[in-house]
Structure 1
Amino acid sequence: MAIFLLKENKLLIDELYQVLFKDFKDSKSIDWEYYICKEKEVFQKDIMERMAEKPIFSPFNSAEEKIIGSTKFLRVWHEEFNEQLGIKPHNYSGGSQQYAVFKCPIPDSNHPPYIKQIFQVFTHHQDCPYCSSFHHCISNSFGYHSPEATRLWILEENDLTPFHIGRKASNLVTWLCGDCKKNVITARVGDYESIRFCEVCKPKNRKKKVIILGEISPRLNRFYDQTWMELKKEGSIDWEVLFFKESELKKEDLLESIKKAPQRIKGLQPLIQTHKELVEVEWNFEINNALGITPDNISAGSSQIVAFTCDNPTHPPYETKISMKTNPSTSNGCPYCHGSRRCLSNSFGYQHPYIALTWSAKNESAVNPLIIAPGNKTNFYFKCPECEKEEWLVSPNNRKKRNVCPNCKRWSQGSFAEIAFYFYYKVVYPESEKKKMSIEGNVCEIDIYVPNLRFGIDYLGEYYHKNKKADDEERQGLIRSSQIDLITIRESEKCNSYLEDKMNFVHYASKGIGSKEFHDSLDECIIRSFAYLCERGEELDLIQLRRIVNTRLDMYNILSLLLVRVENNILVTHPHLAKAWDYDTNKQLRLKPEYFTYGSNIPAFWKIRGSSSVERTIKYMCGLSTEKLKSIGYLSG
């Protein structure tokens, strides 16, 4: 915000705000009207002085429409000041560049008058600059709207008082902690609501998020708790039976909560005539008849609360005012269908039962997956289904997308080649890690980083880095400028596509993982990186390392660091392959069908009738029809 005043008048306003701030700190109550009147006097004086310097244009003589015809415009026209200046609205058109004085259109507003050109207000419809916080005054200041913060303001540390600054200003200011009133906080004015307390006081003043459970009675709450306990114990339950029980309990709630009001429909048509389809489809006759409410003795505009039924059989009955159902602007159907109320069938626990079973005991006992929405954004604890050890905070909305904890997900977005480097470097240098670092304000990631040697490896996959040459070179330059030795390895499907030297290698991968060319080339890149370290003076046994490094032989151990459960796995897209999957052999290799999609080139073991397991890629098996699998012997007839 800004204060547009002549220098002399600005000094007067500064002095007024200083006096106001001192008075505010010393007194328990402030005469706001006095200070606002004083402020207006200064602003009015400034306006008259500035308008004296503005030219007064000749009266309007054209055939264009005069602005006197616009009542909306005249509401903001400051008649007293403009009369003194000789500026009359019937003399000017809406496009005039004449400067004039205007006022805030809000009745009894505390905002001072302001100067604008007529066309800005009449044609461009510019609003009051104080309402939009473009100009500054006492009544739209931070000090006026945040009295608590004003008492904590440290004037010695700040150039301005809180009355000089707007509510959402970006000025960096200093104030005392709102709790201990001793420690100092420096932050932007607009962040005051979220940064009111120092680091010491913040934990005890943190507000707990309120979890809205919807309109759930104690009776239904007990039912959901019992259902959740049964689901945890058994792993699966008869949902149809539970839907029926839920509806019966909801009926009991409605019979107790709905009160019949006196019916007065004299001169009005009954609901059965005006909204026949609504009565036939949604009216719950069982509950309403028990309450003595019938559609032929009540009108469409009644505020009587009645019971309705959804066409979805899994949803319990619900209550609402008749007028809310019959008014087109407020009628929005079943509250369970659009999620404003919770029931079993629209709960997180029902829609994602396998994820719900990873719900942690650390969560509050009053909350369970059967009373929260699938899109709930409050964080809860979930157990990791992969390592079965870690528990992490994540919202149900995000838990649907994240199948494993952050530790298990660490390498899930890397490539096999990256993990292979990590696998062997971890053996030789246990401190090796995937590293993100900030260099000159840029976040740079190194695929493999050995901190003790200040040495890193950057693996550039052909697909992901196809059109990122400039970005990669900039990032690598920043890393090397931090005194880190960096080797670059590029994946390529073509021979001789890149120049190679002792710091730049090429991994030839035209036939993909599992092929001799892929693994031989990758093994050679790993050995060459170790050889470079030997040249630097590291004492490594290259002969022994050549025996150890064998990515084809260690493929399944490497994959175990990479694989995580995926939503569209082959058990979802090709469920018949579950019968052919060799669970015993694959388990030893730490392979699970939940890890793979139908296009994976990873080889796994499959059972075939009359012989031992055979090794085939996931993609090959998914490409065979059910009939073909039966004829070969993977599936029984």
Structure 2
Amino acid sequence: MKLVKFKKDTERWLSSYEKSLKVLFPKIAAEWHHTKNSVVGPEHISANSHKIVWWQCKQGHEWEAPVKQRKNGGRNCPICNSIFTTHPDIAAQWHPKLNKGALPYGITYGSDVQAWWICSCGYEWKEEIAKRTGRKDKGCPVCRNKILNQLSSLQSKYPEIAAEWHPTLNGDLTQNDVLPNSKKTVYWMCRNNTQHVWKTSIAYRVNRKTTCIYCAGARTYFENGFASRYPKLMDEWCYEQNNGINPDDPFLKPMKKVWWRCKKNHIWDMSVWYRIRGEGCPYCAKKRVLPEESFAALHSKLFSELHSKLNEGVDPWQLAPKSGKKVIWQCTKDEQHIWEMGINRRTHHGEGCPYCSKTRVLPEESFGNHYPHLAKQWHPTKNKRDSYGYIANSKMVVWWFCEECNHEWEDAIVKRTTIKKQKPCCGK
């Protein structure tokens, strides 16, 4: 019997050794720190282990990283692979004050961390480290734009729009100093009437191909007023609600909201500017919901299950019954049952409380809460939910992980809670 046991132990050791880091990845194993690790050596640990251990490169730099992460090509020596070592010219632009004490010596060149940079011209900006060290790095945005402006400035690309640049109200900024896609808001002056002055972004003018907003009727800055210019829209002017507002006022603000009434007697508020652009009744266009056709009116029972405190800013009288908007619900049978779900899933698909239907589990009723010792073996990456997402007698097959032997296996939750052996891999 002892011989049989010895043979099995030997086979198990050989199997473990063949899967070890030393056998499968000797180059990585060569950086194993032999004095700071509690495990004897890389021949005693699986290449797929999630255990965090110490490493030491040929230059003597020390760092910690999970074994599996190193096997997958990540977490090499942070100093040898730091931007200070690999990209000294970019590291020279590292902001000394805005990076919360972090230095470029220990951050790798492929990091996705957003860092602050400062150019010799004095400009400060924030950008991902990997983008700065990549082939497509564009450097300082200000210095880059100075070069681009000579070739792609607003004046060069869109001379007709640049011709309406206000000569005095934009300070020292000129048409040659900005790009066509700039979001900067500047002053413009109509080429046909110098009294027409307005303010909007450069990109808006270029992308929308807009002209003078006064000449286009955006601001009713004309002799006869809005009513005379747009008689068809005046058919929908709601005189009762617009008490005191004169539609013939030549200085009626274009973005001022006024009231309108369509042929179907739908009343809504909308700015004159949007009406000029062609916007009509939002109820006829199904962009708004009438109160009597809303979710609250047509589904009073479900309306009573909306959480009274956790839906701030949500008006159920303005939501359509088939709206996909997610809101917070509270079960009428058990106030502890609170969940988030789209309105259409309740009204159209007939879904109810997920806790009552056993598709979700309350934390206090979960496997993780009842069996914390077994929950420690829950695989950290291979399961869709954590151990608090299933009941203790669930038949769901999930992944498990043993920290002692690094073994991974699949098994049903209910089997783990009923068998005597807590660790079938180790025989314990």
Task: Give me the TM-score of the superposition, normalised by structure 1.
Answer: 0.25
Q: Which has the higher helix share?
A: 1
* Bigger Rg, structure 1 or 2: 1
